[in-house]
Structure 1
Amino acid sequence: MIESLERRVGRSLEAFVKQLRCLTESPQGCPDWQPHLDSMQQEVSSLCDLIADAMLLQKLEAGKVSVRLESLDLYPLLESVSRHLINTKAGSTVRLVCEIDPRLPHVLADRELTEAVLTDLLARSMKYSDPGSPVVLAARSVAGKVFLQVTAQRFASPGDRDFATEVVLCCRQIEVQNGQVTCQHHPDGLQTVVITLPVAPATF
């Protein structure tokens, strides 16, 4: 994990140096400056997200984040994290596809942590996948467990050799709830993050 973070920061620093070199070599007031500035801003935003995730991970590992497990109905939560992505402006293409089992049982989970993870995964998938590439949010239950899946073209910037270091950090929030997170690569280039949560005892 630490080595992955170091590589991620190293790539951002390399990108900064490259963009700065381009800016210094370009004539002052050149219209080509804007793409370089935009690229630098994107790296700044990405690094801010990474730092926030790393700080959260540190708090989780130190037991400083309160975990409140409860019998949680997933339908309102899934609607909350997806509503704004489905109800787009007129003329905009709906990229999010929801495949939710209508018979989902309640899970034993922390509402705020689970919602934060799903919100972050969907935001990253929309941000880094190509505009025409759909994102799939799926939920199903099997043998006393509920599987939440987000499938997308990418969860991190193109060329990132690691499997979305930011996503791994964020999903540590699931592990403190006695859940599991797995990441899958598909032959067609798509990637899936699978969140597994236990069914609440009262719903067996």
Structure 2
Amino acid sequence: MSQPLATTPSVRSELHHLQSQNEELRRYLAAQRAVVTSLERRIGKSLDSMGVHSDRLQAVSELPEWREHLAKLQHEVDSLTDLLADTMLLQKLEAGKVEVRLETIELRTLLLSVSRHLQAPTHGSICRLILELADFLPSVIADRELLEAVITDLLARGTRYSELTSPVILGAELMGDRILIKVTAQRFAPPGNRDFATEIVLCCRRIEVQGGEISCQPGPGGKQTVVICLRHP
């Protein structure tokens, strides 16, 4: 009868390390498959919608209706362009081709800056942004451009896809040795479609390359909260 091989502590440690790497690779591949599936589905929907509006443009004769379909067609083109640009940036992040410039940033100033346009709505619209910033917010170590892009994108999506009467909440607080930035909204995707895997993965990579973390959690009243976790000096 064969005897089980004896393993030394160093061998067990190496085996555990390999198992951890394998599990991490499995999670990464699963996330990539989710992104590809999301891209295929959304591009397919956009192309179908573009076909419908293109056909209607050739069929209608009334100018107001023609302009309406033209505007919707342009919206689909713009959405596809943004989606492809995000996908290309995600590929660059994954390949390590985006330079990360970490610096000490005054967080309160940054948050007020990126949300300024939502605090002063125009054309008689109501202010939908609620700021919940802690009295004391230390600086964070981050790449200013990448961090601003993530927060701006989340605020824009929350504002665009939530109902007009539903507020978007931007909060920040110190939790132990970490700073939490929270964006809460009714939804970050069109009604009936909570699939925004591509944007979340892009946000994740933008934050992870800075040494931070990001997660999406259910919020109160069926809302969604995206939490960004960063270090402070």
Contact 2:213 2:229 (C-alpha < 8 Å) held by counterparts: yes
Question: What does residue range 31-70 of structure 1 map to in structure 2 within 5 Å?
Answer: 31-70=64-103
Q: For 2:98, what is the secondary structure of its paired residue?
A: coil
Report the count of equivalent residues: 199
Note if 1:174 corresponds to 2:217. no
Change (3 A) 1:87 1:34: same
Runs of 5+ consecutive residues of structure 1 not aligned to the other structure: none
Question: What does residue range 1-204 of structure 1 map to in structure 2 within 5 Å?
Answer: 1-24=35-58, 26-29=59-62, 31-89=64-122, 91-163=124-196, 165-186=198-219, 188-200=221-233
Change (3 A) 1:135 1:187: closer
CA offsets 1:32-64 (integer angstroms, 9 cap, x no match): 333322222221221121111111111111111
Contact 1:155 1:167 (C-alpha < 8 Å) held by counterparts: no
Q: For 1:93, what is the secondary structure of its paired residue?
A: coil
CA distance in 2, matches of 1:186, 1:122: 16
**Percent identity over paired residues:** 55
CA distance in 1, matches of 2:195, 2:87: 16
Query: If the length of structure 1 is used for normalisation, what is the TM-score?
Result: 0.87
CA offsets 1:4-47 (integer angstroms, 9 cap, x no match): 222221221122223234444x4323533333222222212211
Change (3 A) 1:42 1:156: farther
Moved over 6 A (4+): none
Query: If the length of structure 2 is used for normalisation, what is the TM-score?
Result: 0.77
Change (3 A) 1:92 1:185: same
Partner of 2:21: none
Give the structure with higher Rg (CA): 2
